[in-house]
Amino acid sequence: MHTMILLTCGVDEAGRGPWAGPVTAGAVVLDPARPIEGLTDSKALKETQRDALAPLIRERAAAFCVAHASVEEIDRLNIREATFLAMSRAIAGVTRQLRLEMILIDGNALPKDLPCEARAIIKGDLTEPAISAASILAKTERDALMKEMDGAHPGYGFARHKGYGTAAHAEALQRLGPCPHHRTSFRPIRELIASRAAQVTG
């Protein structure tokens, strides 16, 4: 008796925690006939390893899509819902290429209204190669966006910290104030805006 292989899509995000920039999701259907060595959680890989794997995934995957939710959407919806929105957009991009039978999402919760059966897998990026591939595409694409943002808004160090709340980022914020790519719903940015407004009115 043959085991039926479901057409499975792995999904993961990058950029939930940063103070700036979009949240990005990847969705990948791997091709069993074209395996890719070295897939694991993007955070466990060096940047050079991710940058080497990303083009291989794009070349060998049966289907893939990377999608974003903007800073405006993060601030309007909240980061959880914006993450689900980015994931839904990435999944929709894949379903335009293939009819999916199973979706595996890294984490403990699922977006609503998915096109087929789905499972949330905690630390799935370590155990499911399709989720690992999705995490690598999401991370490399978001990092590239943050490097572009660094050119448009120099001084914040976006190319180095990718928008995360490092000491250097906090210092740059105090010096320069927030830019249009900062998430005003996140407490450090919100508090900074409030304190600057108080100084002006005071």
Check which CATH number belongs to the domain holding 21 and give it. Answer: 3.30.420.10
Q: What percent of the chain has pLDDT over 90?
A: 91
Predicted confidence at residue 13, as pLDDT, reads: 98
Answer whether residue 181 is part of any domain.
Answer: yes
Predicted confidence at residue 5, as pLDDT, reads: 58
Question: Which of 90, 91, 118 has the alpha carbon at shortest distance from 104?
Answer: 118
Residue 4: pLDDT over 80:
no
Answer whether residue 2 is part of any domain.
Answer: no
Q: What is the DSSP letter of 83?
A: H
**What domain count does the chain have?**
1
Answer whether residue 77 is part of any domain.
Answer: yes
Q: What is the DSSP letter of 72?
A: H
Provide the greatest CA pair distance for the chain. Answer: 77
- The whole-angstrom separation of Cα 99 and Cα 191 is 46
The gap from C-alpha 37 to its chain's centroid, in whole angstroms, comes to 22
User: Beta strands 117-121 and 102-106: pairing type?
Assistant: parallel
Instruction: Report residue 111 as tokens.
Output: 């977006």
Which amino acid appears at position 195 of this protein? S
Contacts of 188 (CB under 8 A, 6+ apart): 19, 165, 170, 173
- The whole-angstrom separation of Cα 104 and Cα 115 is 12
Q: What percent of the chain has pLDDT over 70?
A: 97
Residue 103: pLDDT over 70:
yes
- The whole-angstrom separation of Cα 173 and Cα 60 is 41
Print the domain residue range for 59. 8-201
Answer whether residue 1 is part of any domain.
Answer: no
Q: Residue positions in the annotated binding site for a divalent metal cation?
A: 12-13, 106
Which amino acid appears at position 92 of this protein? A
- As a whole number, the mean pLDDT across the chain is 94
Question: Which of 67, 88, 64, 81 has the alpha carbon at shortest distance from 16?
Answer: 81
Query: 66 by DSSP, 3-state: which?
Result: strand
Q: What is the DSSP letter of 44?
A: G
Q: Residue positions in the annotated binding site?
A: 12-13, 106
Phi/psi of residue 182, nearest 5 degrees: -85, 145
CB 121 within 8 A of CB 128: yes
